Amino acid sequence: MPGFRAHITASSIIGAGYGAAAWYLGGMPPTTAALGAGVCAVSGMLPDLDSGPGAPLRESVAFAAAIVPMLMIHRFQQWGMPLEAMIIAAAAIYAALRFGLTWLLENYSKHRGMLHSVPAAAIAGQVTFLAFSSAEPLRRYYVCSAVVLGFLTHLVLDEIWAARQGLFGPKVKKSFGTALKFAGPELWPNLIAYGIVLVLGAVAAGDAAWTERMANMRQHMEHAARVSPQPYPQSYPQPYPQQYSQPYQQNPQPQFRR
């Protein structure tokens, strides 16, 4: 099974390529491309949250607790929260993830359970999509796709490590098929995972529709402001003096003094 260093190295390489392609080929802003590359690199550790106490759990939860409040800055602004409320909300999110999520994973998760699955990758992408609210919908899709890509990189690497070359051809370990899967052997984890996917999917779809509607309305208003004529303000002088505003007389009669 690949270790922590192998996973972070693979997801970092994939993330760097993904960010470079988005910037060079897709025209993504450099900062957004760098953000996608970074979250893709760190998302390669997320499936090992079920591995118990250790570096993967500690580093992944610490990263999530730090990055999620920062991703929600624009969301806080949309809600009209003052600066003090933003700081309190960010601290509450950090504490909930850093301590509450750690406790849940240590006590209720199972190694190679549903955290090693395609639905878990979808959940990670949906949470990122809801947290990262951007005025540009394409940037949201790019960042949440980066998280899904890093997550899937981990799963694919686990499956590759489960196959090895034997004396009479390739052999697979017992762990083969337990990482890149759509369902596990137990019913309740499957129901919970797919239930979360459906709920978050419905919320994300509604939020995406609202964001795109606001973006279209803003573009329409900006276009209307550019093309509509602007009246002169009251204090602005008239474009022509008053003496030039009279109609021009053709062949005026000469005036003679008697």
**CA–CA separation, 54 vs 150, rounded Å?**
20
Question: Considering the chain, what percentage of its residues have pLDDT values greater than 70?
Answer: 77
Residue 232 located in a structural domain: no
Q: Encode pLDDT of 3-18 as tens digits.
A: 778 888 999 999 999 9
pLDDT of residue 49: 84
Is 233 part of a structural domain of the chain? Answer: no
How many other C-beta atoms can be found within 10 angstroms of the C-beta atom of residue 140?
23
- Which residue in the block uniquely carries the two structure tokens 């947290």? 131
pLDDT(94) > 80: yes
Is 137 within 8 Å of 215 (Cβ atoms)?
yes
User: 203-253: per-residue pLDDT in tens?
Assistant: 999 888 877 776 677 667 776 777 765 555 555 555 555 555 555 555 555
163 within domain boundaries: yes
Residue 87 or residue 251, greater confidence:
87
Q: What CA–CA distance (Å, rounded) separates 79 from 74? A: 9
| Backbone Cα Rg of the chain | 29
Residues 115-126 have a mean pLDDT of: 93
Residue 33 lies in a domain: yes
Place of tokens 């686990």: 158
pTM value > 0.85: no
183 contacts 117 by C-beta, under 8 angstroms: yes
How many folded domains does the chain comprise? 1
- For residue 33, count CB atoms less than 10 angstroms from its CB and return exposed for 0-12, middle for 13-18, buried for 19 or more: buried
- Considering the domain boundaries, does residue 257 fall inside one? no
In 3D space, the residue among 65, 71, 63 whose CA is nearest the CA of residue 8 turns out to be: 63
Higher pLDDT, 55 or 252: 55
Backbone CA torsion sign across 59, 125, 202, 182 = negative
Q: How far apart are CA 1 and CA 161, in angstroms?
A: 6
45 is in which domain, residue-wise?
Answer: 4-218
Q: State the pLDDT at residue 151.
A: 95
Helix axes 4-24, 55-71, angle to 10 degrees: 30
pLDDT tens figures, 156-211: 998 888 776 554 556 666 667 677 899 988 898 899 999 999 999 999 998 888 77
Q: How confident is the model at residue 86 (pLDDT cuts 50, 70, 90)?
A: very high
Asked whether residue 224 is assigned to any structural domain, the reply reads: no
pLDDT of residue 167: 45
Q: Is residue 234 situated within a structural domain?
A: no
Q: Is residue 160 part of a domain?
A: yes
d(CA 65, CA 59): 10
Chain mean pLDDT for the chain:
82
CA atoms of 176 and 159, how far apart (whole Å): 6
